[in-house]
Structure 1
């Protein structure tokens, strides 16, 4: 069991972010990483912040740290050995279920003089390797190195067998371009040249730091975007009360502006993400903020200072802004004191800010040296396809595919944001079917930066070139007038572009039904020659493994022949995405324990699938628990090579499949990617109408990979 202890050189170095980023980087290497914070330094009964964030990021359990009261009590009583034994006990509880443990060390501060010594003792008690976490300034290499060296002394120096390197966080002095936020872990963001140059400067005074024995494993830039708080995080800091809380937990403060002069000279400050700070008697500022919100500009919020809260009659004029969620606070502090307090707000991630935690985790992991990780792991681990690894592979494969994906819902806000992300990260070349001015308006209102090479096509300008070709494709089914009318539907238009090989794939469904998305594909794209039907799968990202569920979206009641084909399609799709398929044909009965038409259909489908594809591991009928739970599988189907370890689940009908996937998704809080359609000549994929931006990004990536696979068949 490998254990890495992260030791910070001081306060505010980003220790929590470093822990989460390293765990995510390991997950993307297929390594199941546990987390342990043995000791709390917060004198509170609240749950530990880092531990709670780890649970969210990894969807795994861990133990709570030893409380600060118990920590100081035992140290004061001279019970250091007993304290370390407790820490070892916590470590062993986690070690049972993980390949490697990341341990968060204590933070040196002016209050706790015992920190450095206890960190050193902890490293010994857990037999842990030590990774140092420090902040850095590119323009101050000597001072940066001195902070690390001060802690190194407690662990035998840079050449000790226990010390393994340093990760520099919140690095100042780097270009703004280096602080881009990845969709998933992207080793391509690593600042290789910058690390080399910075190491050379450090070596002028501290030759050990950055050496082969003690490497710099990453240089993580300081990011203004990732350091921004939500409006809800400000209230306590400025002693404020809520006039309207609104979307305070969703809106982030990218900048703050004091409004002091005449309003006509301050209007340029009313932009997306801005926190407006003004005296509460400035009714014009309140009304301007309300008008900006009504015009679709998502201000971060409004802070009214001094005096008293505004008159309710004034607030009546702002009801549209209030209904649109504009957070409004009032503080008795002066405008100057409010600004001072805001400037000293902590950079630490609040325990409930899971969105920011997700982004910071990906950002940090993308700057960690993967070769260093491989060296530390030393090939002793059995890789598995974790959800993090699945998402990582998904994005990397789609980047390599370089495919053109058309998005018919081109003026839909989530789709625009997803397209901007995919375009900027190289996940796909996206084409939005919409009026350019409509896209620009949405982007401006939501603060979305549109990449210069993002294609936006007005359907009215291109419809005519597809009319004759659509009539030809649907010969005898419609005339030119009907074709032109149908092409007004951007999904139909996008499908025609795909049919004529002008794009490689299509993603729709954010505002359209599945039928609206799939029907044109059936009519114009049709099924692949080797298949007789189109089906769907969901990738279910469980905490430990990725499962494939099919069919949960297309075929209401497939017969045995169709069910066998769905199983084969799903197995091939699983293989294509790095999953070694073990296919369970699901029924309410396992083996021959039950009878009836439904069971017989599944049994026949299993027989057909095995006959057609003897290379696949397929078994059925199996109940869901017999397929997924090892102990149940051994009991109910002891001779099966699938029971208890299935990862591809084929449901007997749409009712069962759709119900099961939604039950698992919602009850277990599992991320599902899909539905991904299979069996078509060219890739068309449907979205849930409740899809998040990330869901759309990953579906675009799926579609790009499908297009690449079909092109290489």
Structure 2
């Protein structure tokens, strides 16, 4: 039976989209096919459905996600009563439920719906859908006592109407009242109650939303600039020295269009990172000349400058009523919302109460969610040497907003902060530190350590002092000395530049039995995750090395939830072929069996026989690995690298890696074409590796 969760409320302004997003995250960790159903809808675009569809790659046709419009529902209820309305909506719900393993139901929003007893309608629908209910209570401008009372009232209201309430969440509670409210709710309810504090970044509109609301003309600004959150407004009228002091991080500056001095001063302050502003609105339909605008573009590339015909007062009136909204156009808010949800909700407990059985299939999204969840569970600190690189900064923002791990960014602090400001990214959080290897007091210590390690190679202190200023060497030494738990690099550096310092400083983990350092890719196909090794490090391993790669790869697979069934790949299967290459694979297979008799391993075996059950039945009948291999070991780098890229492109697979194995401490390489999501996944993997063997 399809398991459904009905997220609803008791009134307006509860900001329940945060909870809807959080519950969707929990559902997609458990099952591969999740549907969305909104029984009642308003006219116009549905930002929440668009966000869920884009973020979670839903294939669901939008038309199937809706029951009916509020106007239609009110008319139908007036004509046929609640039974008639309910019957129609239940029928439409079951059309969706029949197609999915779980369904997230988005309750009505209590906003100008003209629907009598709206809470009762939601409760009746939830019961008829067979859905568990998760009520959300708004806590804006309420005391801790009032919030606790509202939560209890919501629980009673829905349980008295026969609903299966699995938890209650209070949202948008003032920070100073949140802790007390949570304490009051810790006892006295038969279900968990969670309190989410107000998060200013979620209610902050983006520059793009402001431009749309004001009907502004965009004079300057790129996509990243338009996506910045606007934390407050500063109105320009004073002389420049006084005005500059009033600027605050993330502010939108509103000024008359003929104040070129304030325009240039604001952008110069932004460029210096003191402070980074969100953008500028020029009023009164006045615009500086082309020379001033050209200077503005050079001072702060990407920073939005908008123009509106109205004066400051009517512009302010429109802006003060504007609130940010979650949607597909604001993915950064989604990361903030998920971070807030996961920080204040016991997601493990809530997942148990939702009671969605974990699917046997592992989809790419399920695998990625699991990485984030496991990394967060044992928080570690990861150093990112490429601190000025745009993709690294965007990935850092995601990791920090989701509370995945602590980060150390390496590079010139002024350059990093300026670049982050241009991208609208705030690094002013305790979980993120910035270190410049050129000026850090650690440089002298690291030079002594490196000179001692490499003395047999004739490395002097003076040479070491220069070497350790390189971000890759500096980051590796931070890991070696326990100042960071792992390192991720390679977005702009070569593989050699990333792993050479690790070979020299961290070295092979002899205690684990590893003889060499190797790598794997996690290949996330449509319905399963395979492990490919070695596709990045060893060009032509001999039989001993190939056996070592296989054993390491099996251990890595098991560490990340993939049951290892190892296929030692060759161009022939079983005893059908001969030659040096086949003999190497055959010997490596024998060595694996000798060293790890507990491992399921088959080889030599061709790729099709390894993964296709029908082919396996013909070529290797009765094999415990053939047709269902999960760890595929390639005979050489040429074969492995080309195969992973071919599968990645032709099967639209997500390739996570390369993940290095065999080092004493985790250092991982990135492809220079890595996407932000690739970087996030690799950092999460590194954090998990740094947690040590699972207990």
| TM-score, normalisation: structure 1 | 0.79
Structure 1 residue 513 and structure 2 residue 500: aligned?
no
Aligned-CA RMSD value: 4.3
Instruction: Name which of structure 1's ranges 698-707 and 238-247 shifts more when overlaid on structure 2.
Output: 698-707
**Which residue is equivalent to 1:72?**
72
Q: In structure 1, what is the Cα distance between the partners aligned to 2:90 and 2:61?
A: 15
Instruction: Name which of structure 1's ranges 475-484 and 531-540 shifts more when overlaid on structure 2.
Output: 475-484
Q: In structure 2, what is the Cα distance between the partners aligned to 1:57 and 1:422?
A: 16
**Which residue is equivalent to 1:238?**
214
Change (3 A) 1:555 1:119: same
**Which residue is equivalent to 1:182?**
none
TM alignment of 1:294-305, pairs within 5 A: 294-296=271-273, 298-305=276-283
Q: In structure 2, what is the Cα distance between the partners aligned to 1:698 and 1:387?
A: 7
Q: Which consecutive residues of structure 1, in runs of 5 or more, have no partner in the other structure?
A: 179-190, 201-209
Identify which of 47, 50, 53 aligns with 2:48. Answer: 50
**Which residue is equivalent to 2:112?**
110
Q: In structure 2, what is the Cα distance between the partners aligned to 1:54 and 1:625?
A: 36
Tell whether the 8 Å contact from 2:406 to 2:431 is kept in structure 1 after alignment: no
Identify which of 53, 60, 63 aligns with 1:62. Answer: 60
Q: In structure 2, what is the Cα distance between the partners aligned to 1:20 and 1:328?
A: 32
**Which residue is equivalent to 1:197?**
184
Tell whether the 8 Å contact from 1:135 to 1:144 is kept in structure 2 after alignment: no
TM alignment of 1:17-96, pairs within 5 A: 17-26=18-27, 30=30, 34-39=34-39, 41-44=41-44, 46=45, 48-64=46-62, 65-66=65-66, 68=68, 72=72, 75=76, 78=80, 80=85, 81-94=87-100
TM alignment of 1:356-371, pairs within 5 A: 356-370=333-347
Tell whether the 8 Å contact from 2:405 to 2:431 is kept in structure 1 after alignment: no
Tell whether the 8 Å contact from 1:423 to 1:454 is kept in structure 2 after alignment: no
Q: In structure 1, what is the Cα distance between the partners aligned to 2:111 and 2:487?
A: 55
Q: In structure 2, what is the Cα distance between the partners aligned to 1:245 and 1:444?
A: 13
Tell whether the 8 Å contact from 1:277 to 1:335 is kept in structure 2 after alignment: yes
Q: In structure 1, what is the Cα distance between the partners aligned to 2:574 and 2:210?
A: 60
Once the two structures are superposed, residues 423-472 of structure 1 have per-residue CA deviations (whole angstroms, 9 ceiling, x without a partner) of 99997786666677777777788642264995847557555656676555
**How far apart are 1:347 and its partner, in Å?**
3.6
**Which residue is equivalent to 1:394?**
375
Q: In structure 1, what is the Cα distance between the partners aligned to 2:509 and 2:293?
A: 61
Once the two structures are superposed, residues 375-419 of structure 1 have per-residue CA deviations (whole angstroms, 9 ceiling, x without a partner) of 52569656877431232112323x3xx6x7666557778778988
Identify which of 432, 435, 457 aligns with 1:477. Answer: 457
Partner SS for 1:352: coil
Q: In structure 2, what is the Cα distance between the partners aligned to 1:415 and 1:280?
A: 36
Change (3 A) 1:72 1:233: same
Once the two structures are superposed, residues 120-154 of structure 1 have per-residue CA deviations (whole angstroms, 9 ceiling, x without a partner) of 4422332122221221255164477469847965x
Once the two structures are superposed, residues 525-555 of structure 1 have per-residue CA deviations (whole angstroms, 9 ceiling, x without a partner) of 4433333321112345667655433223212
Structure 1 residue 354 and structure 2 residue 354: aligned?
no
Q: In structure 1, what is the Cα distance between the partners aligned to 2:648 and 2:336?
A: 22
Structure 1 residue 139 and structure 2 residue 143: aligned?
yes
Tell whether the 8 Å contact from 2:537 to 2:637 is kept in structure 1 after alignment: yes
Instruction: Name which of structure 1's ranges 274-283 and 691-700 shifts more when overlaid on structure 2.
Output: 691-700
TM alignment of 1:272-421, pairs within 5 A: 272-296=249-273, 298-321=276-299, 324-370=301-347, 372-373=349-350, 376-377=353-354, 386-397=367-378, 399=379
Partner SS for 1:366: helix
**Which residue is equivalent to 1:262?**
239
Instruction: Name which of structure 1's ranges 696-705 and 224-233 shifts more when overlaid on structure 2.
Output: 696-705
Q: In structure 1, what is the Cα distance between the partners aligned to 2:144 and 2:664?
A: 58
Q: In structure 2, what is the Cα distance between the partners aligned to 1:575 and 1:225?
A: 39
**How far apart are 1:273 and its partner, in Å?**
1.8
Partner SS for 1:113: coil
Change (3 A) 1:101 1:300: same
**How far apart are 1:708 and its partner, in Å?**
5.3
How many pairs were matched up?
A: 672
Tell whether the 8 Å contact from 1:414 to 1:692 is kept in structure 2 after alignment: yes
Q: In structure 2, what is the Cα distance between the partners aligned to 1:708 and 1:271?
A: 38
Change (3 A) 1:465 1:272: closer
**How far apart are 1:494 and its partner, in Å?**
5.1
Tell whether the 8 Å contact from 2:569 to 2:603 is kept in structure 1 after alignment: yes
Tell whether the 8 Å contact from 1:387 to 1:543 is kept in structure 2 after alignment: no
| TM-score, normalisation: structure 2 | 0.81
Once the two structures are superposed, residues 331-357 of structure 1 have per-residue CA deviations (whole angstroms, 9 ceiling, x without a partner) of 122212222212222442123222321
Change (3 A) 1:543 1:277: farther
**How far apart are 1:303 and its partner, in Å?**
1.0
Q: In structure 2, what is the Cα distance between the partners aligned to 1:125 and 1:426?
A: 38
